[in-house]
A and B are shown apart, each in its own frame.
Chain A
Amino acid sequence: MLKIKNLRTSFKIDGKFYAAADGISFDVGKNEILAIVGESGSGKSAAALSITRLHNKKSTRIEGEIIFNGTDLLSVSEKELLKIRGKHIGMIFQDPLTALNPLMRIGAQIEEPLIYHTNFNSEERKSRVLELLEAVGMTPRAYKQFPHELSGGMRQRAMIAVALSCDPALVIADEPTTALDVTIQAQILELLSELQKKMQTSIILITHDLGVVSEIADKVAVMYAGQIVETATVDRLFTNPRHPYTRALLAAIPSMSSNERRFFTIPGAVPTLREMPRTGCRFSRRMPHEARHETEPTFHEVEPDHQVLCICHS
C-alpha cells in the first residue's frame, strides 16, 4: 500500500543541505502497523513528515520515491496532495497541547477535514464528529470545548479523532504517547490498536519506546543517524536482535527484575546533522568494542523478513 524507496530528506542549515533521513526504504502493507524506532535525532520524524510533504518547502529537499496506492506522492501537485492529506493519510502528533489550535473548539477542529473531503452538510458533519468523539471515548460535551479545557489524554483522543475523521487508509502517528503520563499512554495505545482493527487502517508509529512497539506493532524498523539499520517482524526483532544498535536499545530498557543499580545507557549521542558521518557504518563510533565494518554497508538477510545493515553484527 505504501512503498518508500531511497527516501532522502535534507534540511537547509546555513545555505547547505544536510540529510536527516538518508536513503531509507520500507513498506507498509494494508492493515499493518509498522513501528519506526530510534533515539532523538535519528531522522524518524523527518522521514514521517516527508510522506505527506509537511516540511517547510523553502528549507527542505525531499528525494526518492513515496508510492502510496500507486501514486508517487513526491511528484504529485500540491493540489492533488491536498486531496490525499487528511482523506487517505491522517496524522497524529506528539504534543496534543501545541498541535491543537488553542482558539478553535474541539468540534470545529475535528470537523475541518470533513469540510474539504466530504459532501456532508453541516448537520451531517456534526453528527459524524459526535460519532468520532464517542469512538475515541470522549463525551459530546467536548464538541464545544477548547483544547485548554481538556486533559492531555483527552486532547490526544481528540487528535486521534481528527486523524480518523475521513476513514484514512494510513495513519502516521509521530510519538503519539511521548507527551503523556504512563497510565494515559497505555489507554491511548489500547485505543489506537482497537480503532486500527475496527477501521482496517495501516499505521506508521514513530516512537523511541520499545515497550510501545512490542505491544502493538507488527513490523519494526530501527533507525540510527538517518538510516534504517535493522528491520524485522516484532517477534523476530525482540527474540533475535542483530544490529549492535538494536541490541543496545533493547538493553537500555529498564527491567523490573534486575538488581542492577544503574541503567544501561549507550555511550555518546546521535551525531548532529552537520557532524553525521556519511560513509561507513554510522554506529561504529559509539560501539564500545572492536568489530569489522563494511566501508559501504549493505543489507544482509539474517532470516526471512529480517534484514540488518553492515556486517558488524556478526
Chain B
Amino acid sequence: MIIRRILILIPQLIIISILVFILGAMMPGDALSGMIDPGVSAEVRELQREKLGLNDPLAVRYVRWIGGIVRGDFGESFIHRRPVLEVIGERMANTFFLSLAILVLTYTIAIPLGVLSGRYSGTVVDKAILFYVFVSLAMPTMVLGILMILFFSFYLGWFPSSGSVDAIVLAKGSAGEILANRLHHMVLPAATGALVGMVGVVFMLRANIIDRAFSDYVTLARSKGVPEGAVFRRHILRNSLIPVAAGFGFAISGLLTGQLFIERIFQYPGMGHLFFSSVKAQDFAVVNAIILIFSALTALGMLISDILLSITDPRIRPQ
C-alpha cells in the first residue's frame, strides 16, 4: 500500500511543478528588473534576456528548469549570485531546528491541556483552557510575536528579539557556547509558534474526548464494570488521539517548510524568511525552488499521516 502511495506522489509532483512554474512566469517583472542598472538601455537588456534564455517559449524554459532539478540543479539565484541549492541549504538547517522545537513544544503542551479540558469539560479548569484557546485563536501570529518581543525582549531583556545566533559568539565561542546562544535565540520564536500551533490540537482533542465520552463502545465498557479511569485511558483517549496522530504527519512536513510568519517577525534566517525576501526581490529561481520543496514536503506529510494512521488505527491497516 505504501509503495502505491509513493508512486502516486510522482504525478502529483509533476503537476505541482508545472503549476509552480507557470505561476512564477506569470508574476510581473523578472530577475533582470532588479539586477540591471535602470540606466541600461533596452537593447542591452533585451540582449541579456536572450542570453539567459528568458525569451524562450514557456515549455522550453520549463523543460530546462525541471531537467536541472532532476539532476539536482535548481539554477542560480540572481540576488545571491550563488546556486539556489546552496542558498536554501544554509537556511534549511535553521528552519529544521526551530520547527522541531515548535513541534515538540506544541504537542507537549497541547496533549495534556486537551486531555484535561476534554475529560473535565465544563469545570473551571476546562473553562480556563478554553478561554486561552479562544483568545489565541483570535490573535494572529504576528500580534502574539510582537507582544512576545515587546515583553520578553524589549521590557525584560531576557531573550534576543531577532537572528539565530550572535556573530561574535559564532566567531569566537566554543561549540557549547554557540549551541547555548542558538537555543537562546530560539526561545521566543519557538514559544510563539507553539502557543499558536497548540490551539488546534487542544481543540480537536477536547472535542474528540467529549464526543466519545458517551459513545456506544464507551457505554459498553462502563457496563462491564470497568472503572472510569481505565475507561478513559483504554477506550476514550486512544480513540480520541487518532485524528491527532493524523495531524502530526502534517506537522512533520512543517519541519522544513517552516513557519513563514514567525521567521519573518523574529528575523530568523530560515526558509520562510528567505521566501519572503526572495519574493520581494523577484528572485524567481529561489521562489520556485522553495515552493516546489514546500509542495513536495506537504505531499510527503500526507503520506506520513497515512502511515501514522495505519499504525494507530487497525481499520486502515493494510491486510
Residues of chain A touching chain B, judged by Cβ–Cβ distance below 8 Å, are 49, 52, 54, 56, 58, 78, 82-87, 89-91, 93, 95, 98-104, 112-113, 116-117, 146, 148, 159, 162
Give Cα A204–Cα B224 distance, bound, in whole angstroms: 17
Known contacts A102-B239, A103-B313, A103-B314; is-contact A93 B224 (Cβ 8 Å): no
Give Cα A101–Cα B217 distance, bound, in whole angstroms: 5
Q: How many A-B residue pairs have CB under 8 A?
A: 78
Residue contact A52 to B223, C-beta cutoff 8 Å = yes
Residue contact A98 to B217, C-beta cutoff 8 Å = yes
A87 / chain B contacts, CB cutoff of 8 Å? 225
Asked if B72 is at the interface (CB within 8 A of a chain A CB), the reply is no
Instruction: Name the CB-closest residue of A to B314.
Output: A146
Residue contact A85 to B220, C-beta cutoff 8 Å = no
B222 / chain A contacts, CB cutoff of 8 Å? 54, 85
Known contacts A102-B314, A103-B314; is-contact A86 B225 (Cβ 8 Å): yes
Residue among B217, B222, B239, B312 having the largest count of chain A Cβ atoms under 10 Å: B217
Known contacts A100-B217, A102-B314; is-contact A82 B223 (Cβ 8 Å): no
Residue contact A101 to B219, C-beta cutoff 8 Å = no
Residue contact A85 to B223, C-beta cutoff 8 Å = yes
Give Cα A34–Cα B221 distance, bound, in whole angstroms: 24
Give Cα A113–Cα B234 distance, bound, in whole angstroms: 13
Contact of A91 among B213, B223, B226, B314 (CB under 8 A): B223
Contact of A95 among B216, B223, B224, B315 (CB under 8 A): B216
Asked if B48 is at the interface (CB within 8 A of a chain A CB), the reply is no
Give Cα A90–Cα B217 distance, bound, in whole angstroms: 14
Contact of A56 among B214, B234, B238 (CB under 8 A): B214
Contact of A85 among B224, B234, B235 (CB under 8 A): B224
Instruction: Name the CB-closest residue of B to A49.
Output: B219
Residue contact B239 to A85, C-beta cutoff 8 Å = no
B314 / chain A contacts, CB cutoff of 8 Å? 102-103, 146, 148
B214 / chain A contacts, CB cutoff of 8 Å? 56
Q: Least Cβ distance of A178 to chain B in Å?
A: 13
Residue contact A54 to B225, C-beta cutoff 8 Å = no
Give Cα A148–Cα B214 distance, bound, in whole angstroms: 20
Give Cα A144–Cα B230 distance, bound, in whole angstroms: 21
**50-85 of chain B: CB within 8 A of chain A:** none
Asked if B29 is at the interface (CB within 8 A of a chain A CB), the reply is no
Residue contact A162 to B217, C-beta cutoff 8 Å = no
Residue contact A116 to B216, C-beta cutoff 8 Å = no
Query: Can you list 18 A-B pairs with a CB-CB distance of less than 8 A?
Result: A52-B223, A82-B227, A84-B225, A85-B222, A85-B225, A86-B225, A93-B219, A99-B217, A99-B219, A100-B220, A101-B234, A102-B313, A102-B315, A103-B238, A104-B234, A112-B226, A113-B225, A146-B314
